Amino acid sequence: MSPDLPTNGDPRLTGAYEEWTFGGGAAYAQADVTLTATRFVASMVSLPAGTHPRQFAAEADRQSKDGNGAARVILPVIWNGAPEPPDEMTHWPIVLDFHDPDARDPLDLLQINRTLDHLSAPVRRVLNAAGRKEEVQFQLNTPMREQSVVVLHSGRSDPSPHTADGALKARLAPGVRPVIMAVIDDGLPFAHRNFLDTAGNGTRVEFCWLQSSDTTPSGSVVFGREFTRDAINDLCRVHGPDEDAVYARAGAADFSRRHGSTLNHIASHGSHVLDAAAGLRPGTDQGDVDLMRIIAVQLPAAITADTTGFRKDAFVLSALHYIFDRADRIGAAYLDDEAAPLPLVINFSYGFTGGPHDGSDRLEVAIARLIEARQAQGKPTTLVMPSGNTFGDRMNGEIPVDQLQTGMSYPIPWRLQPSDRTSSYLEIWLRAAGEDAPTFALAISDPKGIMCGTESPLAFASSVQPQGGSSPALSQNLTLSGNTIGLCVVERYNDAWVRVVVALAPTEPTNPALPAAASGLWTIALSKTGGAELDAPVSCRIQRDNDPFGYLRGARQSFFDDTADLRFTADGAVSRIENPPSSFVRRLGTLNGLATHEKVTVVAGCYGDSGRATEYGASGPLRTETVPAGRGDVRVAAVSDESTALRGVLAAGTRSGAAVRLSGSSMAAPQVARALAMRHISQAKAPPATFPLRQPITDAELSERPTRLG
């Protein structure tokens, strides 16, 4: 067991990723704020049925004032229409305030868990009195800079109503209503001229929330800065066409210690996506784009830079609560009715490769419930996300049932690349079972064949108790030559899954004094040792670990080095189809791990000159006549590359007049989001544009085409 966590059965309220990034792997974390100097940590909290976050925050505040050492809970904007299922856990964004670092002991993982245990004690007492065993659970994200958080006004709301654009409101008539385009992304140029109305009189950005800023929070948000349409127009009037001055005055450039501001680059992921979704298109039949009003949420740079995605939950969920709340305010401003059925399209061009991939990821559950609740109010709501770009990246593997019934161990071949300055993560997903659950053994060996940790494999059953239950998750430090270079954690993720997480240190840490994980082929040997027969294959997923557009962390993607993986065809081209059954590496099933629930429109990318699926576009499992479509499958595709010779599609850079070409399904998604939004505006419900395949392809690729492109 890890020495940083309780081993006596006390509740353990954090998970595997927190144990590494805040525990044994903290020295490797490329964080702006060290844990010992941290006051604020963003988190997603999972509360048992019947517990509202405002009650939870109020109780935490009472305990804090009593001087018993509990942390405070700060609530960001919480949408009033958020559902509270009577018999299920609910998930909420919060900010944990661990008080002044100079007036308390330095934080470590053990202290965090003790504090969270104390924080959740009142809820536990109520549940125990009712004979219930549920536990409050926390998914800690990233430490926040102290100057970006407001402490005194938790959950505050701006008492002043939002004002409408008078010229647009005067044009509204029965049957004519605005549509809201919301974009969650990075490096959002809210002062760009492409987001003005067609007359050039003012911006169409009704609200913009910069979740991270070095300046004092503004607006009615508890962290970051908020700008309304009037505030943006005022900034632009003062500084004229000098957009650099606008962003500097607004504190919009997220200058973190390790991550520069992408808004100060010629282009950003967010500038391209926001323009594709909602930018002006002069000289084209763009429809009445003045009716498209914009809500923009810029995620912190550290969240975008860390492509593994486990630091994102609180920020993404708070962004959605904010968007839903502000959409209601826009309805009140333009239609004089907060309950008006104002259409909302959300483009979230992010993704990650981990997760259960069945819609039961906690963030997925929270997102789906929010969308369902708004739709139940009669307000059209659509979430658009990309399928992902990892089809051929060797990050998804599957162990067939029969390969684990032999009693022999199955060697998972995990290759770490040299010169990797970031930690690498592997997830193994096993179906949770009852009392007669299958039992397993897991042995981890370095490229030289030396077993890490102990001399015997880690033994566990796929019936591990939930986090915070009577039996803590299993945890084992991975050591070589007396140095800790990784961690293995086995934990019950939810009612359906047991998750094994293996974390390994960078192969070339930024601090050369730290021990490194050896580059080369690691072997994760999984064997079934007893219990019931397996009824489902074992899924293995490597977390995405590369440098996204606009960032440079020194990340290098690890991958499954499977000798049966047919990466290339006979003529040397990159393979565009699934591997044969004998291969461990699977390409179908690589879909964006946040886009596998039933409340998302998933968009793939294709080549504009041929209509052929891109070789990188991720997808769900193969669907056939006998295997019907499932949650989160790709439904539609848009052009993500003009051709194999001319990659990418054009959209705006961060400054007016600049245009850039970016490639990927993230660039396809906002085109679909725009089309869906314009269909709400247009009286003529024209079908989506389609074009035939213009290039001969193999029978195998043809059979997979509906799964790849929808």
Domain harbouring 65, CATH code: 3.30.70
What's the confidence (pLDDT) of residue 6? Answer: 46
pLDDT tens per residue across span 296-348: 999 988 777 777 767 789 999 999 999 999 999 999 999 998 888 999 999 99
Residues 352 and 486 grouped into a single domain = no
pLDDT tier at 431, thresholds 50, 70, 90: very high
Closest listed residue to residue 73, CA positions, set 55, 49, 50, 100: 55
What's the confidence (pLDDT) of residue 7? Answer: 46
* Residue where a domain stops, chosen among 113, 145, 177: 145
pLDDT tens per residue across span 373-386: 999 999 999 999 99
What's the confidence (pLDDT) of residue 15? Answer: 85
Residues 134 and 283 grouped into a single domain = no
What's the confidence (pLDDT) of residue 134? Answer: 79
Question: Residue 371: how many CB atoms within 10 A of its CB?
Answer: 21
Domain presence at residue 123 = yes
Instruction: Tell me the torsion sign for CA atoms 116, 117, 122, 123.
Output: positive
Residues 383 and 412 grouped into a single domain = no
Residues 404 and 494 grouped into a single domain = yes
**In sequence order, what are the residues at sequence separation of 6 or more whose Cβ sits closer than 8 angstroms to the Cβ of residue 632?**
359, 591, 595, 596, 597, 598, 600, 602, 620
Residue 155 has pLDDT above 60, yes or no: no
CATH code for position 197: 3.40.50.200
CATH code for position 479: 2.60.120.1290
What's the confidence (pLDDT) of residue 304? Answer: 75
Domain presence at residue 408 = yes
What tokens does 437 get?
Answer: 């659950």
pLDDT tens per residue across span 74-105: 999 999 999 888 888 999 999 999 888 877 88
Residues 223 and 209 grouped into a single domain = yes
What's the confidence (pLDDT) of residue 201? Answer: 93
**In sequence order, what are the residues at sequence separation of 6 or more whose Cβ sits closer than 8 angstroms to the Cβ of residue 229?**
163, 165, 202, 203, 204, 205, 206, 207
What tokens does 61 get?
Answer: 């505040």
Supply the Cα-derived Rg of the chain in whole angstroms. 25
Residue 688 has pLDDT above 70, yes or no: no
Domain presence at residue 584 = no
CA 193 from centre of chain = 29
Domain presence at residue 316 = yes
pLDDT tens per residue across span 262-296: 888 899 999 999 999 999 988 777 788 999 999 99
What range defines the domain where residue 101 resides? 31-145
What's the confidence (pLDDT) of residue 84? Answer: 85
Query: Which residues, listed in sequence order, are joined to residue 424 by a DSSP beta bridge?
Result: 504
Q: Among 156-160, 248-252, 615-619, name the one with the lowest average pLDDT.
A: 156-160
Residues 336 and 473 grouped into a single domain = no
What's the confidence (pLDDT) of residue 176? Answer: 86
Residues 364 and 414 grouped into a single domain = no
**In sequence order, what are the residues at sequence separation of 6 or more whose Cβ sits closer than 8 angstroms to the Cβ of residue 107?**
35, 36, 38, 98, 101
Q: Across residues 20-34, what is the average pLDDT?
A: 83
**Residue 706 region, left (φ>0) first, then alpha (ψ -120 to 50), else beta?**
alpha
Residues 380 and 399 grouped into a single domain = no
Domain presence at residue 594 = no
- The listed range with the strongest mean pLDDT (24-28, 214-218, 254-258, 506-510) is 506-510
- The listed range with the strongest mean pLDDT (394-398, 459-463, 696-700) is 394-398
Residue with tokens 């314009």: 678
pLDDT tens per residue across span 129-148: 777 877 888 999 888 888 88
Q: Across residues 186-191, what is the average pLDDT?
A: 94
Residues 457 and 554 grouped into a single domain = yes
Domain count, the chain: 3
Q: Looking at residue 568, what DSSP letter applies? A: B
Orientation angle between helical segments 362-376 and 313-335, nearest 10 degrees? 10
pLDDT tens per residue across span 253-264: 755 555 567 888
What's the confidence (pLDDT) of residue 470? Answer: 36
Specify the DSSP element, H or E, that contains 497: strand 497-504
pLDDT tier at 1, thresholds 50, 70, 90: very low
What tokens does 1 get?
Answer: 């067991």
Identify the three-state secondary structure at position 437. coil
| Percent of the chain surpassing pLDDT 90 | 57
Is residue 585 a contact partner of residue 565, using CB atoms and an 8 Å limit?
yes
Q: Bigger pLDDT: 470 or 137?
A: 137
Query: Which residues, listed in sequence order, are joined to residue 228 by a DSSP beta bridge?
Result: 207
Domain presence at residue 20 = no
pLDDT tens per residue across span 646-669: 999 999 999 999 999 999 999 999
What's the confidence (pLDDT) of residue 270? Answer: 94
Closest listed residue to residue 648, CA positions, set 637, 663, 634, 636: 663
Q: What is the mean pLDDT of the chain?
A: 88
Half-sphere exposure of 256 (CA within 13 A, CB side): 27
* Residue where a domain stops, chosen among 145, 174, 190: 145
Residues 380 and 398 grouped into a single domain = no
What tokens does 440 get?
Answer: 């397993």
Domain presence at residue 75 = yes
* Residue where a domain stops, chosen among 115, 145, 175: 145
What's the confidence (pLDDT) of residue 8? Answer: 43
pLDDT tier at 60, thresholds 50, 70, 90: confident
Q: Which amino acid is at 651?
A: A
DSSP track, 559-572: EE--TT---B-TTS
Question: Residue 672: how many CB atoms within 10 A of its CB?
Answer: 27
Residue with tokens 């565009």: 576
Residues 307 and 422 grouped into a single domain = no
Question: Residue 558: how many CB atoms within 10 A of its CB?
Answer: 27
Residues 217 and 287 grouped into a single domain = yes
Residue 464 has pLDDT above 70, yes or no: no
pLDDT tier at 469, thresholds 50, 70, 90: very low
pLDDT tier at 687, thresholds 50, 70, 90: low
Q: Looking at residue 317, what DSSP letter applies? A: H
Specify the DSSP element, H or E, that contains 316: helix 313-335
Domain presence at residue 570 = no
What's the confidence (pLDDT) of residue 448? Answer: 95
Half-sphere exposure of 180 (CA within 13 A, CB side): 29
What tokens does 244 get?
Answer: 């650099």
